[in-house]
């Protein structure tokens, strides 16, 4: 089932035309991706320690995690996107906050916890156009009770004004710790919600689920691809999930309903791939389709189309504009 048979330019234009009237809440782990470009042509040593110095000739920062989901949604034309999460009182947090404000995201519910919390940051040294061992910040964060209560209070107060809720989880010691998942579940149980949770222990029910193949295998959701997916079907039948979207990376996406399984391919042969943030783009495209009352298959096709654009942008988590989406669909039709 090819993308151009599922989507048309007219449908996409109609969808994008209504997005500016929609409101989405993104609840999750707000991260920053830091790219440090190393210059080894200049060799020097510290006078104080005698150790060799690594020279950074350029630095670049991109929104990651839940922040990248927000960035993708705004790039696609969403009118109002509200951020709910926690950042630290540190330079990375300041950079993240500034970038979110530049794209007109509502950050009034992004809590700054100034103790026991470092902004989640993936610092990636780039040497000769290749990423080398990265430095991760915020891996041992402790969500304070007062921070949790304040954030959940804001979510509960505003929950009914959103067309969709997106829940993101990708940090083990991030937002979704202690009693936060249980308390959030109580708030979102009657809402239109899609979740993308990386860790096996974190699950939210009565939602759409977006997950990648490796995570689905680890959680025991997905059996071998060609087998009857009894576990997935039972979870949908039992109402734990409405539908399940399984990302296959460069091979596309699987969509599971109560009885059906659909295979959505990538639009065209991709070049120069940088997969970082591709899952966030897939999630954003799916969410936009669902907001527009598209069925799950069309929504997944749009998600694949969005991701196909962003993964071809190197050294950034990447977003796609409506114009880029329509160009990609036109190219797929020609090919």
* 198 within domain boundaries: yes
Query: pLDDT digit of tens for each residue in the chain (335 aa)?
Result: 577 788 999 999 999 999 999 999 999 999 999 999 999 887 888 899 989 898 999 999 999 999 999 999 999 999 999 999 999 999 999 999 999 999 999 999 999 999 999 999 999 999 988 999 999 999 999 999 999 999 999 999 999 999 999 999 999 999 999 999 999 999 999 999 999 999 988 999 999 999 999 999 888 888 766 566 888 989 999 989 999 999 988 788 999 988 788 999 876 555 545 556 688 999 999 999 999 999 999 999 999 999 888 887 766 657 889 999 988 888 766 55
* 45 within domain boundaries: no
Residues 327, 332: Cα–Cα separation, whole Å: 9
> What pLDDT was estimated at residue 91?
97
* 29 within domain boundaries: yes
> What pLDDT was estimated at residue 259?
78
Query: In 143-154, which positions are buried (b, 16+ CB within 10 angstroms) versus exposed (e)?
Result: bbeebbeebbeb
Neighbours of 9 (CB within 10 A): 13
* 237 within domain boundaries: yes
* 47 within domain boundaries: no
> What pLDDT was estimated at residue 313?
72
Q: CA-CA distances (angstroms) from residue 320 to 35, 54, 261?
A: 20, 34, 27
* 295 within domain boundaries: yes
State the maximum Cα–Cα separation within the chain, in Å, rounded to a whole number.
Answer: 69
With contact defined as beta carbons under 8 Å apart, do 84 and 176 qualify?
Answer: no
Q: CA-CA distances (angstroms) from residue 75 to 93, 257, 288?
A: 21, 29, 11
Q: Which domain holds residue 23?
A: 3-40+52-334
* 67 within domain boundaries: yes
| Number of folded domains that form the chain | 1
Residue 307 CB contacts under 8 Å (≥ 6 apart), including other chains:
278, 279, 281, 282, 285
> What pLDDT was estimated at residue 219?
86
Beta bridge partners of 136: 122
With contact defined as beta carbons under 8 Å apart, do 155 and 113 qualify?
Answer: no
Residue 310 is part of a domain; what is its CATH number?
Answer: 3.40.1190.20
* 46 within domain boundaries: no
Q: What is the pTM of this model?
A: 0.93
> What pLDDT was estimated at residue 272?
47
Residues 257, 241: Cα–Cα separation, whole Å: 9
Residues 54, 60: Cα–Cα separation, whole Å: 17
> What pLDDT was estimated at residue 311?
81
- Cα-Cα-Cα-Cα torsion 204, 206, 210, 213, nearest 10 degrees, comes to 80
Backbone angles phi, psi at 255, to 5 degrees: -125, 125
Residue 118 CB contacts under 8 Å (≥ 6 apart), including other chains:
88, 90, 92, 137, 138, 141
């Amino acid at each position: 089932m090819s993308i151009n048979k599922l989507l048309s330019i007219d449908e996409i234009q109609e969808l994008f035309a209504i997005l500016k009237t929609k409101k989405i809440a993104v609840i999750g782990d707000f991260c920053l991706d830091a790219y440090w470009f190393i210059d080894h042509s200049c060799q020097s040593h510290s006078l104080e320690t005698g150790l060799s110095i690594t020279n950074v000739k350029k630095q670049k920062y991109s929104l990651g995690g839940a922040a990248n989901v927000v960035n993708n949604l705004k790039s696609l034309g969403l009118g109002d996107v509200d951020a709910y999460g926690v950042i630290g009182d540190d330079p990375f947090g300041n950079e993240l906050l500034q970038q979110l404000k530049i794209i007109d995201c509502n950050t009034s519910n992004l809590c700054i916890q100034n103790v026991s919390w470092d902004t989640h940051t993936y610092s990636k040294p780039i040497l000769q156009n290749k990423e080398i061992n990265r430095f991760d910040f915020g891996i041992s964060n402790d969500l304070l009770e007062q921070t949790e209560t304040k954030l959940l209070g804001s979510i509960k107060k505003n929950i009914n004004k959103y067309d969709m809720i997106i829940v993101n989880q990708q940090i083990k010691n991030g937002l979704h710790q202690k009693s936060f998942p249980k308390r959030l579940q109580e708030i979102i149980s009657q809402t239109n919600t899609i979740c993308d949770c990386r860790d096996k222990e974190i699950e939210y029910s009565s939602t759409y689920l977006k997950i990648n193949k490796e995570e689905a295998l680890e959680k025991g959701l997905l059996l071998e691809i060609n087998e009857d997916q009894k576990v997935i079907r039972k979870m949908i039948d039992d109402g734990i999930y409405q539908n399940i979207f399984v990302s296959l990376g460069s091979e596309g996406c699987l969509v599971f309903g109560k009885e059906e399984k659909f295979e959505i391919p990538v639009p065209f042969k991709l070049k120069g791939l940088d997969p970082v943030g591709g899952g966030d783009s897939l999630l954003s495209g799916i969410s936009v389709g669902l907001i527009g009352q598209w069925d799950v298959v069309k929504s997944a096709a749009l998600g694949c189309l969005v991701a196909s654009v962003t993964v071809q942008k190197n050294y950034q988590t990447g977003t796609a504009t409506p114009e880029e989406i329509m160009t990609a669909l036109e190219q797929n039709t020609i090919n």
